[in-house]
């Protein structure tokens, strides 16, 4: 009897430990906030997870509007075991215009980005004034001698015309503003004063529009931010436009070498202006409303592992639907853009492009008739696979930006 009780006690302890571990894992891998529409019960994972509103009153509501509203709630396991407290956002059903067409980006930076250094040969030897002054790759030069730095030529002219005197810079590094004093040197090759640094003030490229929100007149694209090719950091946006693009060809992706869409700006007249370059994409305001198929945004808990359609353009300017599959989903709150692992299964894309290629970023992902997300990155070692972002994350950013821009315009 004693042996039986010991075994039973040990078994109960193991079960309790496993249960605790399961709840801990569920806590870590599930979001802390959820969005739904009125009268829709949140229940997913074959009934394993549900969100139950607390009996307490709502936490907040937008003044003068029935929705959105925010409530305190609990994430439950099988409607029985509480996992954690969460935030429940109730919103009106969100419909957007499905895109999938390519677009060109012309972007100018807010400041001048330091992307490299070059030693200067002088009569006294080889030196690098920029590095010696404490500048680092990725720094953003915002002022030169108290004046705003907005172009590469501002840096070049300040150095060449310094007359051997020091140059005062203000540099943005992360969240810091750092004063730096730089002493240009006279180059032995041409006699000009130089700082020994490479800078960048603009960029251009091709991507894919994900959706247009008629309510806010805002577009969303790429699903990831535009980063400097040398530093890997988000480029600080000063201003920018988007223009129509026609795809003229595809460089096929192979293992170890990403492919890319080749195209040209088919019209130099902007169709929209850039308002934000952030981790989860580029956003801005359209010059004219976009017309097209209205599609409902899927909330992240609605997105499942399984077959999907990719809406993208690999020839001309008209998007087509292609088969793919979501293989993995990451619901963690801390993950903003790499929420999905996607595999291309459509032989048309595989034979023509090898899978996901550069320029396809932003291509809408459709599941069960809803906009589930957008393509963001290709796996370099396997171009048939890549990452995607939740459409809900992009819509949240879009709503924030359109509210700000419309307020400024009013």
Catalytic residue numbers, as ranges = 224, 346, 361
Two tokens at 372?
């589930």
- What is the C-alpha to C-alpha distance for residues 211 and 200, in angstroms, rounded to an integer? 30
- What is the C-alpha to C-alpha distance for residues 130 and 158, in angstroms, rounded to an integer? 13
- Judge contact between 373 and 365, C-beta under 8 A: yes
- Judge contact between 277 and 225, C-beta under 8 A: yes
| Parallel/antiparallel/unpaired status of strands 320-329 and 340-344 | antiparallel
- What is the C-alpha to C-alpha distance for residues 192 and 188, in angstroms, rounded to an integer? 8
What residues pair up with 283 in beta bridges, in sequence order? 220, 276
Two tokens at 108?
């100018």
Q: Residue length, the chain?
A: 410
Q: What is the rounded radius of gyration, in angstroms, for the C-alpha atoms of the chain?
A: 26
Two tokens at 43?
């229940």
Two tokens at 326?
């979501």
């Amino acid at each position: 009897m004693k042996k039986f009780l010991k075994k039973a006690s040990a078994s109960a302890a193991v079960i309790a430990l496993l249960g605790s571990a399961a709840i801990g894992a569920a806590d870590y891998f599930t979001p802390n906030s959820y969005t739904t529409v009125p009268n829709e019960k949140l229940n997913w994972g074959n009934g394993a997870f549900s969100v139950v509103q607390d009996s307490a009153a709502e936490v907040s509501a937008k003044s003068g509007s029935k929705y959105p509203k925010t409530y305190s709630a609990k994430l439950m396991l099988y409607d029985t075991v509480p996992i954690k407290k969460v935030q429940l956002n109730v919103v009106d059903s969100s419909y957007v215009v499905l895109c999938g067409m390519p677009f060109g980006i012309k972007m100018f930076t807010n400041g001048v980005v330091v992307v490299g250094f070059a030693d200067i040969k002088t009569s006294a030897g080889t030196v690098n004034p920029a590095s010696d002054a404490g500048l680092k790759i990725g720094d953003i030069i915002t002022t030169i001698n108290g004046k705003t730095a907005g172009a590469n030529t501002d840096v070049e002219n300040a150095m060449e015309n310094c007359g051997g005197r020091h140059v005062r810079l203000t540099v943005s590094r992360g969240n810091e503003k750092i004063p730096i004093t730089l002493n240009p040197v006279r180059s032995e090759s041409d006699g000009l004063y130089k700082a020994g640094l490479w800078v960048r003030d603009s960029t251009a490229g091709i991507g894919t529009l994900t959706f247009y929100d008629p309510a806010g007149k805002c577009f969303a694209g790429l699903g990831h931010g535009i980063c400097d090719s040398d530093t890997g950091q988000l480029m600080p946006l000063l201003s920018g436009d988007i223009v129509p693009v026609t795809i003229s060809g595809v460089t096929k992706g192979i293992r170890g070498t990403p492919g890319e869409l080749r195209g040209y700006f088919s019209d130099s007249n902007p169709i929209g202006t850039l308002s934000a370059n952030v981790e989860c994409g580029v956003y801005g305001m359209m010059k004219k409303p976009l017309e097209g198929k209205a599609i409902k945004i899927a909330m992240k808990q609605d997105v499942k592992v399984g077959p999907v359609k990719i809406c993208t353009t690999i020839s001309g300017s008209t998007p087509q639907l292609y088969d793919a599959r979501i293989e993995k989903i990451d619901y963690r709150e801390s993950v903003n853009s790499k929420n999905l692992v996607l595999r291309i299964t459509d032989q048309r894309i595989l034979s023509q492009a090898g899978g996901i290629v550069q320029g396809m970023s932003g291509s809408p992902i459709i599941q069960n008739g809803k906009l589930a997300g957008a393509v963001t990155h290709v796996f370099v070692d396997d171009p048939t696979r890549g990452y995607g972002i939740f459409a809900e994350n992009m819509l949240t950013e879009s709503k924030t930006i359109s509210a700000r821009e419309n307020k400024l315009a009013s």
